Chain A
Amino acid sequence: MNGLFLATVFHLSVAFFLLGMGWRCLGWLRAPVPLKIPLTPGPKTRVGVAARLAGETIAFRSLFRAAPGLWVVAWLFHLSLVLLLIGHFGGLVAPKFSQRLLGLTAEQFTAQAQLSGGAIGILAAASLLGLLLRRIASKPLRAISTAGDFFLLLLLLLIVATGLAMRFAGQIDLREARAFVSGMRDFKSAVPSPDSVFTTHLLLVCALLVYAPFSKLVHMAGVFFNPALNQTNTPRERRHIGSGLGPARVVFPPAKTP
């Protein structure tokens, strides 16, 4: 497919994703937090709050206590997403830099990219399948799952599957892929897409980026705005000035005073 076209679609998708997520965050920020509602016992300092949020977002602390089995699958899935993101950036957008950083020869670098990319891709696919099977097999989970939940899991599975296909089925030429990505990055050359699987993979990612701001994927930003987690537990140490929710009308005539 035409490289310039793909490059345009991809850049627009990324921009849409960033603007969309920013717009959603702004939407939350526009609404005030009228009351102090931290979960207690909770941290009393900003540092403590940062630690609480780090624990939730890095280690999924609450989920670990709630459902250790789900924690394993969910945590591995999110870990693989982060690693894949880093790997794609390091291997395709900035390969020279990454190679120097790792101190490898070009051959070694390619070999490790294929090895780690393949392994993490399999991990992502396995954890995604686990999440999907869980939604189908468990009665309570079926009851709470929406069409959107399945749509997202399938979309992610397709993205990972096309990625794995390039690695294991057709052995994509990494040089071609890098050339395409750098062409896309610079908008300079109209390097054609290496093959149709690659094109599909890229377009599916674009679909995910565009869908994200409308979907539950906003949870990646939302958790940081949650007053139950990000407020200090200091209602009595510092007065919380809550706006919003309007003044109370006195419906009753003032009752007898003491």
Chain B
Amino acid sequence: MNYFLQQLINGVTLGAIYGLIAIGYTMVYGIIGMINFAHGDIMMIGAFISLIAFLVIAALGVTSVPLALVLVLVCALFFTSAYGWAVERVAYRRLRGSFKLAPLISAIGMSIVLQNGVQLVQGARVKPLAPVITGGIELSGAESSYPVTLGWLQIVIILLTVALMAGFTWLIQRTSLGRAQRATEQDMGMAMLLGINVDRVISMTFVIGAALAGVAGLMVTLYYGVVDFYIGFNAGMKAFTAAVLGGIGSLPGAMLGGLLIGLIEALWSGYGSIEYKDVAVFAVLILVLMFRPSGLLGKPEVEKV
């Protein structure tokens, strides 16, 4: 039981990170119908920026951990957003509305460029970071054979994710940017005719997606304590799977999908074999899609005859 509880906690933490990345996939897909293959690498960039920011801030003599965390968070948000914006501007904008596979190939190319660019400038070696947030709450008594711990770091990750999701939902549902975003998603041509600056809306979509991925990158850096140029691929693939599982284009779906993927991974690693956790994730995806072809919360595609 305790073991199960511990895996559950780990799974939810992991799921929070996947969910944050998945939002970027789902939003971009919803608005311009493309798979932003470079999104996982944007997360990787966010992780590197966080790591560098930690070291810079430490070098500047900031010793308070909460202050350092906030500063790093701001840096990660800001610089990763800039990367997200730039990638859209350079590699996707001109391909909008063109042949469907062109942006996908461009995105794969961009992903290769980002991965190898980072490898070139930062080196291929794994970069370690000493734990910043340590300790936690012991949820089980000392008498239990298997102690359950809810780490402070896990609490921070989960709370931060919940806060970001709440803010993000507010942004989409209540602000004029969110309205413009939803309108563009439904009918880009009409939105343009009504005076919405579609270019700006799409840019903002990428910026928001990248910002969330930047935070996810920070979380990955803290949670795993190591960063390398390749982490974006795997995390991106899982997050994309999460977006599809939840129903691509659906924001609650992305969060739910992320959570599920995190749980499957943690529980499978805990009870099955850790080597085959990716197989479990994809097997669940295929099973879900067989019975719900639009994902868990996706709107079923209406065939208009």
State whether these chains interact. no
List chain B positions with a Cβ less than 8 A from chain A: none
